[in-house]
Amino acid sequence: MTEKVKTAVIMAAGMGTRFGDMTETMPKGFIKAGGQSMVERSIQTLIDCGIHRIIIGTGYHREAYETLAEQYPQIVCCFSPRYAETNSMFTLWNCRDIIGTDDFLLLESDLVFQKQAITSLLESPHPDLMLVTPVTKFQDQYYIQVDEDKVLSGCSTNKEDLTVYGEMVGIHKISHRFYQKMCEDYALKMKEQPKLGYEFELEDISRHHINLHVLKVDDLKWYEIDDPADLAYAEEHVLPFIDGLDSQESQQKSSFPMNIKRNILLNPGPATTTDTVKMAQVVPDICPREREFAGMMKSLRNDLLKVAHAPAEKYTSVLFCGSGTINIDICLNSLLPEGKKVLVVNNGAYSTRAVEICQYYGLPHIDLKSSVYEQPDLDAVARTLDENPDVALVYTTHHETGTGVLNPIREIGALAHQHGAVFVVDTTSSLGMIPFDMEADNVDFCMASAQKGLMAMTGLSFIIGNEDEIRKSKDYPKRSYYCNLYLQYDYFERTGEMHFTPPVQTIYATMQALKEYFAEGEAAKFARHRRVFEAIHKGLDELGFKDVIKRELQSGLVVSVLYPSDPDWNFERVHDYCYSHGFTIYPGKISTTNTFRLCALGTIDTPDIEAFFRVLRDALVHEGIQIPISYN
């Protein structure tokens, strides 16, 4: 499901008996909430979000919906003659011929909700997705339990039955594959369970057949209206917020009309972002010296510590304006005491960059160089430290993005600390994507940029480090003005601001990206990146490509692919074909071997990778390259 869904199914067959006299002459969906019927609110929101076809499963007072269909060309009605003796799953099953092979949004007719409920589902790469919010005091709700990958594992109206993750909204995204399995399974149960609710069929399929992921949106405004008391509550406490928020969004869209094409970036950063992160940059102009903005940066710095599992009583984060390389520069020039050396444990292009910075500043250093195809030799690291007691700073790269090798930082850090050295790690292409813990991994300083694991925009970089060591560096030689760690740290501590002008819009985008990071959940995010990585390998294997790094050494984020021997192979032409179809691939960074890289960064998932490999296959055919790929 790489294209946005264009079909929706509204289940509206029920009799709405809890409304009493109000539903004698009309179905429940036609009750007005805030001056407009609930179902028309839903229909207009769906159309506004790009839904082209709306299937309404009707029953009680079907004529009301059939009349409505005359006003909206998008609507198709599907009558369920057994509506009085069945339940929502029968209504959904009864629509199967009209739904056909479409993927679709599924929703109930008695909901009022913010537009974000629809856009959040449409923007997610998951083909099958249930929308939930945190548990409220609402009554008569379905409570949801998930596994460690945020996949539906339980559903009940009784909180005590589950480890509750959230409360079901009643809006879902369903693929044709998932729906087909629901229909097949329900056909076997229909006779014994005619009144089965669709919620329990979703649970059954997710537990036993196809994963139904669960998306929790913390601040979503919505309400299910089942009776007059619900209606009164919604009109007083919920609808004013929904109408206000959606009106504000509409005004922003009219001021900034945007139809953003979604490109899939398989390069090692910047990464594919959500539209909500992109749009977070569209804010009123603000001077970054205002207290409001300083407060935002304080919150951002605290959140970054959480991403790195860095205890706030020991570590701090310091923000800089620039690309990831600025962090390497800052740490090396700021943290080396007079008369001491840097040891660079170097097995790739990005640690080589650290060596070049040492050379540029004239810093005493040791370039402990090893094969780019292997992890560093820990014995060689220990031996070098034994032979060079004047090493005060050990530096390496966690994930060598040029090759995809993951380095043993925990072991290197332990050796550094045994020899009294500070350990600095470049985590630019690993932080927020694979497990990392400042304390457990023996790291004193790590670094990253917003456009990588956080899936925000370029221009903001940050260093997370031991606060005591930063204070000590005040007395070290001053080798740079703009790129001095203590100078920036001290200015933050005294004023709450960056010493020089910050990248204002990028900071707003990063704040939004962090909200989405924590909403997705660390374990689920790591698992998603791993799924993408495995899908990349599966696609490469099917085409016959070879990777150059041993699988057990790979980070789970980057695959370095060997150029084919085929005389018709031309990376630039294959790249251009893929790029023209919305996919970016990237050249390798191994000087002795011709490679290209495919990366598992960004807001992508396995359906995006499956779509990419269809395009890549087409590119190979277009260029006359033999499949399976040949190697001499």
First and final C-alpha spacing in the chain: 37
pLDDT at 221 over 90: no
For the chain, where do the domains classified as CATH 3.90.550.10 start and end?
7-252
Chain mean pLDDT for the chain: 92
Region of poorest pLDDT, from 35-49, 364-378, 410-424:
35-49
Residues of the chain with CATH 3.40.640.10: 287-511
Please write the tens of the pLDDT for every residue from 93-131.
999 999 999 999 999 999 999 999 999 999 898 999 999
Q: Band of the pLDDT at 258, cuts 50, 70, 90?
A: low
3-state secondary structure of 562: strand
Residue with tokens 């946005």: 4
CATH number assigned to the domain with residue range 287-511, chosen from the 4 options 3.80.10.10, 3.30.420.10, 3.40.50.300, 3.40.640.10: 3.40.640.10
| 251 pLDDT more than 80 | no
Q: What is the 3-state secondary structure (H, E, C) of 433-445?
A: CCCCCCCCCCCCE
Q: What value does the mean pLDDT take over residues 68-72?
A: 89
- Residues 596-613: tens digit of each pLDDT: 999 999 999 999 999 999
**Numbered ranges of CATH 3.90.1150.10 in the chain:** 522-622
pLDDT value of position 136: 66
**Whether the predicted pLDDT of 502 surpasses 70:** yes
- Which pLDDT does position 256 carry in this prediction? 47
Contact 402, 375 (CB under 8 A): no
Identify whether 270 is preceded by a cis peptide bond (ω within 30 of 0): yes
Nearest 5°: phi and psi at 423? Answer: -110, 120
365-369 and 341-346 strand pairing? parallel
- CATH architecture designation of domain 7-252: Alpha-Beta Complex (3.90)
Strands 32-33 and 36-37: antiparallel
Contact 301, 492 (CB under 8 A): yes
Given a cut of 70, whether residue 3 has pLDDT beyond it is no
Dihedral of CA atoms 499, 397, 348, 386 in degrees, nearest 10, equals 110
Name residues whose C-beta falls within 8 Å of residue 316's C-beta, 6 or more positions apart in sequence: 301, 305, 464, 465, 467, 470, 489
* d(C-alpha 172, C-alpha 462), whole Å: 37
Tokens 């609930």, residue located: 38
According to CATH, the topology of domain 522-622 is Aspartate Aminotransferase, domain 1 (3.90.1150)
